[in-house]
Amino acid sequence: MSKQEKVQDIVNILEDLYPEVPVPLDHKDSFTLLIAVLLSAQCTDERVNKVTPFLFAEADNPTDMLVLGQERIKEIIRPCGLSPAKSKAIEGLSQILLEKHNGEVPQNFEDLEFLPGVGHKTASVVMSQAFGVPAFPVDTHIHRLAYRWKLSTGKNVTKTEKDLKRLFDKELWNKLHLQIIFFGREYCPARGHNPHACPICSKYGRAALFK
State mean pLDDT over 193-198: 90
Confidence of residue 154 (pLDDT cuts 50, 70, 90): confident
H, E, C per residue of 27-94:
CCCHHHHHHHHHHCCCCCHHHHHHHHHHHHHHCCCHHHHHHHCHHHHHHHHHHHCCHHHHHHHHHHHH
Half-sphere exposure for 84 (CA within 13 Å, toward CB): 0
Q: Kindly report, residue by residue over 163-185, the tens digit of the pLDDT.
A: 999 999 999 999 999 999 999 99
pLDDT at 209 (0 to 100) = 43
Q: Which residues contact 124 (CB under 8 A, 6 or more apart)?
A: 109, 135, 136, 137, 138
165 is catalytic: no
pLDDT at 210 > cutoff 60? no
Domain spanning 30-129: which superfamily?
Hypothetical protein; domain 2 (1.10.340.30)
Which residue has better confidence, 2 or 17? 17
Digit-coded pLDDT (tens) for 128-151: 999 999 999 998 889 999 999 999
Say yes or no: do domains 3-21+136-210 and 30-129 share a fold.
Answer: no
- The yes-or-no answer on residue 159 being catalytic is no
Tell the CATH topology of 3-21+136-210: Endonuclease Iii, domain 2 (1.10.1670)
| pLDDT for the residue numbered 207 | 55
User: Which of 9, 16, 86, 121 is labelled catalytic?
Assistant: 121
Give the domain ranges of the chain. Answer: 3-21+136-210, 30-129
Residues 54-108: tens digit of each pLDDT:
999 999 999 999 999 999 999 999 999 999 999 999 999 999 999 999 999 999 9
Query: CA Rg, the chain, in Å?
Result: 18
Marked catalytic residue, from 28, 139, 155, 211: 139
How far is the C-alpha of 60 from the C-alpha of 102, rounded, in Å?
A: 15
Sign of the alpha-carbon dihedral angle for 61, 67, 73, 76? negative
Is pLDDT above 60 for 211? Answer: no
Q: What is the pTM (predicted TM-score) of this model?
A: 0.90
CA gap 141, 130 in Å, rounded: 21
Q: Nearest-CA neighbor of 45 among 57, 33, 55?
A: 33
Give the per-residue pLDDT at 179.
97
